[in-house]
Chains A and B, each alone.
Chain A
């Protein structure tokens, strides 16, 4: 089991009022799965993604990632876990604008303390996987939206993480380019990567073998992507 979320709750105090973003979520994800997390805005899916991505810690419950309890770790320990275990793919790409595609892809390896030579070789390899090795010295501003997202995917792959965590990866792309990216995810899934994809689009969730639907901080559906995306199947 790669991801074991048990009774996860996350509460915030905003303006003196208690906001319950997650109210007790239990989800288990095996290695090699491709799971969509779907829900309306405010359903808690972004909070869940932050918890899964070790960007945030739950106020209740336990989260075991790759067998290790990561629910109560310090900032720096979480940074190390993110660096080793998680490859992020964000809606707005989150590339460093002043750096080349290659340098962007190298970034997680920089924080892992790899030698410059190793960094470079592995970044080039990752860019080859997303078919961008011909543009690796371009800066993000010189690339199209689809190309930028592929750089971001290469960056996620370069660190060889156990989990690819994508947040609305097609949200800022036109439908044709979005389709390319989804195809790329399909390939990655076939190669054995574990993918968690957070989206509000039922059509995208339907493409995933499994989907988890959230509403008001609770899991309200878990099953084959198509059914959960369109049918609202209860567990």
Chain B
């Protein structure tokens, strides 16, 4: 049995060597399919691991209070009523202060709010209108992981005084002050002067979608004065320790319901979410993308499979005489079937392996050249190999069965 398998493998290798170009072209569909799925998986898994790590660095004791729900929900029965959510009261700095004062399990809080798509000006030049302005409290660097590379962050008193201070993302700093130390310079947001006190360390892009360096951080009070006092803030709450995490969430929820005078039968009109729930959302999202990617890959493998079907039919009709001779000399049907099925299987397995190598290479290149986070999950590599060789087997069976059914006398007469 095993001997027959190796004999068949040797025969398959012989066929590939005899027709290298034909073999390569046939493989292309499968190679592209598997390479695509491996590259996508590597990027997706890398991003997922990175974000999970970032979230866990934010601390296990931290949760957030928001007006808007986090991210997306998949497959959940309750559809969100956006009009109702939009009508919720905003969260304010007073809410934040109240949480700190009235919830004994809470160690500290921070607040943030943001305004996208802003233009930042100096007397000399200006940025594109794509800068992200973030109003923050003094705890922000500790709770978000940003690092001030040059200069300093503002302090509590400066925030409370409503000072107009700015900490620039490196992209904004480079654009506005290409040849000048930005510290102590003045930038204008909506025409108001802000003094630059710091520049952030470069963090890079997330999948090329969101640029973490194209930002300006300002004290919360100044931010609200500029962009509107009625906007909602997002409040991060840190419990004293993990033991008091759940109690802290309960205290905050009770306090917020009290402040908003909600009747016992009314739903919360605010959202309390943990990093875990954010991680879950992200993982759910990445599962959907994974499934979609495999779907696309399956389609591409199908195309590759049809290529294999075609070339195997050619191979069988070209080798009709050979098949006749083999049968005359005592090859059973199953042996001929196995020979051609092995050829199709080996063909697609080689395609899968080449695709896998290319996918891993692209992922490595992305990591090295673009600084992307990539990681290839073993299960995805195995699954795409199984899928590609399975496609070869499925599409190889019909030509192989045709070969096995040939009559030896007729087959040997073929030209």
Contact = CB atoms under 8 A, between A and B. Distances in A.
Interface of A: 50, 53, 55-56, 75-76, 79-80, 82-84, 88, 90, 94-96, 98-99, 107-108, 110-113, 115-116, 155, 159
B335 A111 contact: yes
Most buried by B among A90, A98, A155: A98
B415 to A, nearest CB: 10
A82 B329 contact: yes
Of all A-B residue pairs in the complex, the 9 with the closest CB atoms, nearest first, are: A83-B330, A111-B330, A76-B332, A108-B329, A94-B325, A79-B332, A82-B330, A111-B331, A55-B409
Nearest to B324: A94
B259 interface: no
A55 B3 CA distance: 26
Given A76-B333, A110-B7, A111-B335, A98 B14 contact: yes
Given A55-B408, A113-B3, A115-B3, A76 B329 contact: no
Q: What band does the interface of chain B fall in when counting residues whose beta carbon is under 8 Å from A? A: 20 to 34
A50 B328 CA distance: 10
Contacts of A53: 328
A98 B334 contact: no
B292 to A, nearest CB: 44
B332 A50 contact: no
B334 A107 contact: no
A84 B321 contact: no
B361 to A, nearest CB: 33
B412 interface: yes
B367 interface: no
Given A90-B412, A94-B325, A96-B325, A75 B333 contact: yes
Nearest to A46: B409
A88 B328 contact: yes
Given A88-B328, A98-B14, A98-B18, A56 B409 contact: yes
Interface string B295-322: 0000000000000000000000000011
B338 to A, nearest CB: 12
A79 B18 contact: no
Given A55-B409, A80-B330, 16 more contacts: A56-B409, A75-B332, A79-B330, A79-B331, A79-B333, A83-B330, A88-B329, A94-B325, A96-B322, A107-B329, A108-B329, A108-B330, A110-B7, A111-B329, A111-B332, A159-B329
Interface of B: 3-4, 7, 14, 18, 321-322, 324-335, 408-409, 412
A79 B334 CA distance: 11
Contacts of B326: 107, 111
Contacts of A110: 7
Contacts of A99: 14
Contacts of A83: 329-330
A90 B324 CA distance: 12
Given A50-B409, A55-B409, A113-B3, A94 B330 contact: no
B330 to A, nearest CB: 2
Contact of A79 (B14, B324, B327): B327
Most buried by B among A84, A107, A116: A107
Contact of B332 (A80, A96, A155, A159): A80
11 contacts: A88-B329, A94-B325, A94-B328, A95-B325, A96-B325, A98-B18, A107-B329, A111-B326, A111-B335, A155-B329, A159-B329
B188 to A, nearest CB: 79
Contacts of B4: 113
A82 B3 contact: no
Nearest to A161: B330
Contacts of A159: 329-330
A18 B326 CA distance: 30
B238 to A, nearest CB: 71
Nearest to A80: B330
Nearest to A88: B328
Nearest to A114: B3
Contact of A84 (B330, B331, B334): B330
Contacts of B330: 79-80, 82-84, 108, 111-112, 159
A111 B7 CA distance: 10
Nearest to A82: B330
Nearest to A110: B7
Contacts of A111: 326, 329-332, 335
Contacts of B18: 98
Contact of B328 (A55, A84, A98, A113): A55
A19 to B, nearest CB: 15
A96 B408 CA distance: 14
B322 A82 contact: no
B11 to A, nearest CB: 9
A99 B325 CA distance: 13
Contact of B334 (A50, A55, A76): A76
A50 B335 CA distance: 22
A27 B408 CA distance: 24
Contacts of B7: 110
Contact of B321 (A56, A94, A112): A94
A33 B334 CA distance: 35
A134 to B, nearest CB: 24
Contacts of A96: 322, 325
A80 B331 CA distance: 8
Contacts of B333: 75-76, 79
Contacts of B3: 113, 115-116
Nearest to B325: A94
A83 B412 CA distance: 16
A215 B308 CA distance: 48
A115 B7 CA distance: 11
Nearest to A93: B325
B321 to A, nearest CB: 7
